């Protein structure tokens, strides 16, 4: 069930933890309207944190990219899975501990910032753990040595387990593919720092502050599920990978608190659809399931169309076990 907020989310919550790809930008371009909506949310008093599972780019680089897109961002507003991985390590081992590093400069900087000593895989003497993250220049011979160290019992922290990563040439294998390879060889599961696990969200609150955070994301299985793991409210936006098919098939633990086509949802109060004789009703729209098919009637704002569709579809999914048929259904544009 979707939640309600009598106040705009930008005043009901004091921190927005914003996923980047599919929320703030897509490919190299800003999502239309995103810089303006974020500036308005900030003007209403909301803190903004930009969080990323990508462990390769240091926060300063991410902030610079955001500024190029017209989003005001300082390095301290950016929190990465590399920083979360370093926190997991420093909480468990003492400052100064030697940590075998398999990854890129973002992970190395994060370890040093946390007071840890990154060492290459062939200098593993007295190392306390192995940390891995996406690194385009990581060599196979180093992967082999790290895998042997892990199999032989050295604790393992992975920045994230994303199976894919967007690149200039399309969707490519992410760090999760390497995690799977090392896991299948060693029989060991890593501690994962990035979404949907908690460390990145906890690290964000620690660094940026905020007592009532709102996770904002485009992916059900990382952003929204991650918020649920951490007991936080979430806003799903539809400017990234989630469309009608993914939304109506969302499992219970991957359903957002709030739903909006885009970041304008940060600046609005939210009402949940009402239940009227088995139909979900909101803002002029009425959605119900007839013989396994989702039927939507009425007129109104696109945001409310998505909300009645989501709730009618989820009720059907919970009762029937299979997603509802959405053939012929198209969202209104505005």
Q: What are phi and psi of 274, to 5 degrees?
A: -95, 155
d(CA 181, CA 185): 6
Number of residues lying near Mg ion (CB under 5 A): 5
SS3 of residue 324 by DSSP: coil
Decide if residue 218 touches Mg ion (CB under 5 A): yes
Only one of the segments 47-55, 81-89, 109-117, 211-219 lies at the binding site for Mg ion (rule: CB under 5 A); that segment is 211-219
| Beta carbon of residue 54, minimum distance to Mg ion (angstroms, whole number) | 10
Please tell me whether residue 19 binds Mg ion under the rule CB under 5 A.
yes
Q: Does 22 bind Mg ion (CB under 5 A)?
A: yes
The single residue of 14, 21, 125, 218 carrying the catalytic annotation is: 21
- Shortest Å distance, C-beta 56 to Mg ion: 16
| Contact present, 175 and 210 (Cβ < 8 Å) | no
Tell me the residue number closest to Mg ion, measured at CB.
22
Among 9, 21, 79, 286, binds Mg ion (CB under 5 A): 21
Q: Is 21 a catalytic residue?
A: yes
Question: How does strand 191-192 pair with strand 156-158?
Answer: parallel
Smaller CB separation from Mg ion, 171 or 320: 171
Beta strands in the chain (DSSP E): 15-19, 25-26, 29-30, 47-52, 78-80, 98-102, 117-119, 129-132, 156-158, 164-167, 170-173, 191-192, 213-217, 233-237, 258-260, 274-276, 279-282, 285-290, 293-298
User: Which 236-275 positions form the footprint of Mg ion (CB under 5 A)?
Assistant: 240
Q: 102 or 214, CB closer to Mg ion?
A: 214
Q: Give residues in contact with Mg ion (CB under 5 A).
A: 19, 21-22, 218, 240
Which residues are known to be catalytic? 19, 21
């Amino acid at each position: 069930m979707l939640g309600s907020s009598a106040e705009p989310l930008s005043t009901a919550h004091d921190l927005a933890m914003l996923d980047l790809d599919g929320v703030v930008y897509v490919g190299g371009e800003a999502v239309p309207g995103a810089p303006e909506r974020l500036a308005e949310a900030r003007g209403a008093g909301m803190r903004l944190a930009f969080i990323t599972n990508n462990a390769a780019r240091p926060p300063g680089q991410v902030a610079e990219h955001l500024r190029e897109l017209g989003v005001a961002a300082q390095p301290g507003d950016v929190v990465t899975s590399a920083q979360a991985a370093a926190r997991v390590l420093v909480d468990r081992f003492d400052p100064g501990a030697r940590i075998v590093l398999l990854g890129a400069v973002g992970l190395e900087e994060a370890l040093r910032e946390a007071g840890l000593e990154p060492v290459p895989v062939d200098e593993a003497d007295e190392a306390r753990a192995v940390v891995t993250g996406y690194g385009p220049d990581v060599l196979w011979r180093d992967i082999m040595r790290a895998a042997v160290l892990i199999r032989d019992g050295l604790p393992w922290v992975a920045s994230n387990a994303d199976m894919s990563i967007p690149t200039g040439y399309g969707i490519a294998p992410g760090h999760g593919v390497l995690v799977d390879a090392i896991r299948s060889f060693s029989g060991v599961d890593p501690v994962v720092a990035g979404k949907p696990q908690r460390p990145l969200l906890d690290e964000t609150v620690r660094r940026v502050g905020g007592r009532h955070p709102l996770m904002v994301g485009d992916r059900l299985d990382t952003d929204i599920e991650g918020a649920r793991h951490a007991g936080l409210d979430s806003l799903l936006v539809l400017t990234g990978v989630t469309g009608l098919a993914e939304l109506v098939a969302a499992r219970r633990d991957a359903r957002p608190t709030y739903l909006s086509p885009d970041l304008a949802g940060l600046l609005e109060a939210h009402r949940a659809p009402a239940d009227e004789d088995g139909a979900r009703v909101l803002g002029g729209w009425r959605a119900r399931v007839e013989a396994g098919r989702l039927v939507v009637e009425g007129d109104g704002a696109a945001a409310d169309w998505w909300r009645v569709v989501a709730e009618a579809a989820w009720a059907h999914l919970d009762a029937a076990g299979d997603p509802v048929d959405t053939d012929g259904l198209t969202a209104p544009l505005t």
